Structure 1
Amino acid sequence: MKVKLPLMIQDTFASQQKGMELVERYEFENEAFFLDGPVTERIAVLDFDEKTGELLPGATFIPPRNKTPGSYDVESPSPGSLISRQFNQVSVMATILKTMDIVEDERVLGRRLHWAFDAPQLLVVPRAGEWANAYYERDTNSLQFFYFKSKRRQEMVYTSLSRDIVSHETAHAILDGIAPDLYDALTPQSLALHEAFADMMAVIMAIRSTTLAKTVLEQTHGSLNYITAFSSIGEEFGFEWHGGHSLRDLSKVIKMNALFSVEPHELSTVLSSALYGMLTQIYEERRQGLVESEGNNFSDPAYSLSGKALAISAQQFARMIFRALDYLPPGEISFADYGRAILAADKAAFPSKGHYREFLRQAFVDREIVPHRSALNIDTNFEFALKHPVDLNDLIESDWVAYQFANQYRDLLQIPDDIASFRVHRRLRTEKLLNEDGKKVEDIVFKVSWDHVEDNAVGGGLPERRRSTVGTTLVINADRSRDAEVETGGGFVEMVQMPASKLDVAQSYNPDWQQRQMRAIRGGKDTLLIRARLTSDLSDSQRLARDAMLERLLREGLVKVDDHAIGPDGKLRANVISAQTRNNVLKLNGTGRMLHITT
């Protein structure tokens, strides 16, 4: 179904400051249906009355007619006018859907998104209460947007009317679906990746606004070397609560050694700065290339071609940073892990375009994320000889075959010898478009994770050992075409290692296994092309950072152990991080609850 919906270009304050219209429209056709509310198959907006708590009637849907796209019965506001609740409902949903649309594009992630929670719809509350905040919460399947009284103007500020904030919080939900282990991570850089990814999503959304991009390029004469609406995150919110400036300015060069905090928002600025720096370098090179090839047609080619260069650069940048998410190892990760994932994903799709990847290497070195460029080296595009043929369809569809593969090739997956139990995650067959020639790249993403136990030196009456999740991602080239992505139905299957003799007995009584073995022998692969292999960073520096994070959480009283995390209603208490002890080993869950827009 094709619909055309209004959404905020930026926020009311920033739009008025720049002399822009408040609203632009965007066309959608990725949802199976649209209903009053507004509601789609993946999004449901719930607007509650602030005084009574009752669910208010939602905006009315107008179905498509002839060649006219569907829409909602709302009036778009003009600068200085009041914004209706119905417009607020539709605009927040449209912003969320556009954020998802950008990521799902076949030139970017190339597959349909899934939520981390066991429900079809992300619940969106545009006016959740009076508070200067907004957040994604997995436990309630929701995005909660609050409002507050302006300190400088006689009006309310609604976070659900800020494109930056809505796309930022939506990105948390998207990343949680792709890499759910990060929501329970203790490594500060794992949580900071959530924040950096969300900020970069806001940047891409800003650039993808035709109105805003045109305004910024006019104001800077085509330069990205100034503080702009692209690099400034949450302008209206920051104007009210951060001394008159945005929440974060991504154009600043922030170095790792200049920070002494493990707070995720602060730490994220190092990674965001590196990524934004890479974007500006890609843009400058793309623009220079266009000037050389097309500049004779313009009196001021550097400016005249800036819009085209920005669109091309933003698409390339989105492809690089979002495709990397499929390549991330499961569990705890570092910024360096993410950097390697970006390089590996881009090299898999564009092996001959290496100079763009050098921009990232240098940005990571300049900000002291890694000591030297070679620290981001990763195993890519190598062949691996199998002991027995493997049918790739069975590897995707059968948990049994997937576990057998993982157990047989533990060295390839870098599973330690002393690990008796590991988890084989849902396998993905992904199909992504190559921009240059229109060809598609087909890969199988195979992830396995296990528990890593380390010393817990923070004291506080906690166990002396703690457990976290680590693992390996293996990306395998699949050279046979498929009409669509194939996935296994579950989240992951956990297997306990059995002696080889018992496995042989189990297989001999398993007709399905025997059929799969025969099929593999007839048409399976005996050599795999491994596009990339990435394993979690287990360095001492990351372990010490986990110590510091746990100490901070304890000081702030956020960690509750075992039954102390459960409220009188038998449910997990809100705004706490639960910790379980098993065999005198500590495991934290729900650290992602810290990721509100304010700290």
Structure 2
Amino acid sequence: MSDLTPPGTMVFTCLSADIIAHETTHALLDGQARTMREPSNPDVRAFHEGFADIVALFQQFTYRDLVRREIARARTDLSASTMLGKLAPQFGEGTGLGGALRRYPDLPSQINYATTFATHARGSLLVAAVYQAFLAIVERRTGDLIRLATGGSGVLPEGAIHPDLVNRLTDETCKAAAHVLKMCIRAIDYCPLSTSRSGNICGQSLQPTWKRCLTTGTTIGSPFSKPSGGASSCPEVCERCRSRHCAGASGRVPSRRGLPQPLPS
């Protein structure tokens, strides 16, 4: 029997863990970075949707039995997994889409950063990039296990994979997923307070006098050299943001938690 959801079937999204994780992430991101609710550029809302998808996608790797089954079924090729790279499959099937609402890392060819501005589609570019990086990490971390299991050839024989190998691959895959998700969540603290872009993380200062405005994201000078104006010269940034959110000569920036923190070195 097929486990597909027939079109028109009542689907209770409150029972779908990935949908719950996605919507809950929106609320948490609103509380952590309130200025990201302001659509100052097309990437802001797209980032919101993409980040929610990232959390929903990687929380699936906390279900070790599911990961173990999919690794065994896909013969270690996670990109061929029928479950782990999909979001809201029952919702998509129940609404007549014939499959999951979104599939990663493969995206339709018409979705690209230059011409795609629909919020969910644009956000999926960020998710696909992160998930592709995750697959590369897993491949690198598990390569030695597969070589040991195949006598150095790296080519698995036909038939079922040994359960011990599946268990070890599951351990490494779940560990990598937790690490990638933690890095993505931690990166929120280094994003500009507003005007967030999907590929933009708050720059790290390689020189004490190089400055980045945390409100506008504008930089003065190169991160690899001192600006000619000196430590107190920050006219463009301060005129644009008209606030005190400028990392100047003090080398300190305001924290979202209300306490000043040193610039990352």
Q: TM-score, normalised by structure 1?
A: 0.34
- How far the C-alpha of 1:307 sits from its partner, in A, is 0.5
Closer, same or farther in 2 for the Cα pair 1:160/1:304, shift >3 Å?
closer
Q: Give how far 1:304 is off.
A: 4.5
Q: Assess if the C-alpha contact under 8 Å between 1:254 and 1:269 holds in 2.
A: no
**Structure 1 CA distance for aligned equivalents of residues 44 and 185 of structure 2:** 16
- Pairing 1:17–2:3 present: yes
Aligned length: 229
Higher normalized strand content (fraction of residues): 1
Structure with more contact order per residue of length (Cα contacts < 8 Å, sep ≥ 6): 2
CA pair 295-316 structure 1, distance change in 2 beyond 3 A? farther
Superimposed CA distance per residue, residues 492-524 of structure 1 (whole angstroms, 9 cap, x where no aligned partner): 9xxxxxxxxxxxxxxxxxxxxxxxxxxxxxxxx
Residue 253 of structure 2 corresponds to residue 446 of structure 1: yes
Identity %, equivalent residues? 21
Structure 1 unmatched runs, 5+:
1-15, 19-149, 342-377, 386-407, 426-443, 449-472, 474-486, 493-527, 533-599
Give the TM-score of the pair, scaled to structure 2.
Answer: 0.72
CA RMSD in angstroms comes to: 3.7
Equivalent residue, structure 2, for 1:311: 174
Q: Secondary structure at the match of 2:264?
A: strand
Q: Conserved in 2, the CA contact under 8 Å of 1:253 and 1:273? A: yes
Structure 1: how far apart are the matches of 2:71 and 2:171? 11
Match of 2:33 in 1: 179
The equivalent of 2:123 in structure 1 is 268
What displacement does 1:220 show? 1.2
Q: Which residue of 1 aligns with 2:139?
A: 284
Q: Distance in 1 between matches of 2:108 and 2:190?
A: 26
Matching of residues 428-467 of structure 1 within 5 Å: 446-447=253-254
Preserved CA contact (<8 Å) 2:46 2:120: yes
Is 1:384 aligned to 2:208, yes or no?
A: yes
User: Matches of 1:191 and 1:320 in 2, distance apart?
Assistant: 20
Q: 1:488 corresponds to which letter in structure 2?
A: G
Measured in 1, the distance between the counterparts of 2:253 and 2:121 equals 32
CA separation in 2, counterparts of 1:236 and 1:161? Answer: 10
* Counterpart for residue 59 of structure 2: 205
For the pair 1:327 / 2:97, whether they are aligned, the reply is no
Matching residue of 1:392? none
1:245 pairs with 2:99: yes
Partner of 1:190: 44
Shift of 1:306: 1.2
Q: Give the CA deviation at 1:250.
A: 1.2
Larger radius of gyration: 1
Aligned mates of 2:90, 2:179 — CA distance in 1 = 29
Q: Which residue of 2 aligns with 1:170?
A: 24
Corresponding residue of 2:237: 416
- Counterparts in 2 of 1:482-493, with a 5 A limit? 487-488=257-258
- Residues in 1 aligned to 2:241 and 2:176: alpha-carbon distance in whole angstroms: 46
Structure 1 pair 232/182, CA: closer, same or farther in 2 (3 Å)? same
| TM-superposed deviation, 1:410 | 5.9
CA separation of 1:161 and 1:445: change in aligned 2, threshold 3 A:
farther
Secondary structure of the residue aligned to 2:208 is strand
SS in 1 for 2:11: strand
| Corresponding residue SS for 2:175 | helix
1:94-126 deviation digits (Å, cap 9, x = unpaired): xxxxxxxxxxxxxxxxxxxxxxxxxxxxxxxxx
User: What is the alpha-carbon distance in structure 2 between the residues aligned to residue 418 and residue 198 of structure 1?
Assistant: 34
CA distance in 1, matches of 2:27, 2:252: 21
Greater percentage in helix: 2
* Alpha-carbon distance in structure 2 between the residues aligned to 1:289 and 1:312: 16
- 1:268 maps to amino acid: G
Cα distance in 2, alignment partners of residues 411 and 263 from structure 1: 39
Distance 2:241 2:43 in 1: 28
Equivalent residues of 1:383, 1:529 under 8 A apart: no
Offset at 1:266?
1.1
2:33 aligned partner, one-letter code: A
Distance 1:531 1:208 in 2: 31
Q: Deviations over 1:69-110 (max 9, x none)?
A: xxxxxxxxxxxxxxxxxxxxxxxxxxxxxxxxxxxxxxxxxx
Instruction: Point out where structure 2 has 5 or more consecutive residues left out of the alignment.
Output: 152-160, 210-229
Report the secondary structure of 1:168's partner residue.
Answer: helix
Classify the secondary structure of the residue corresponding to 2:67. helix
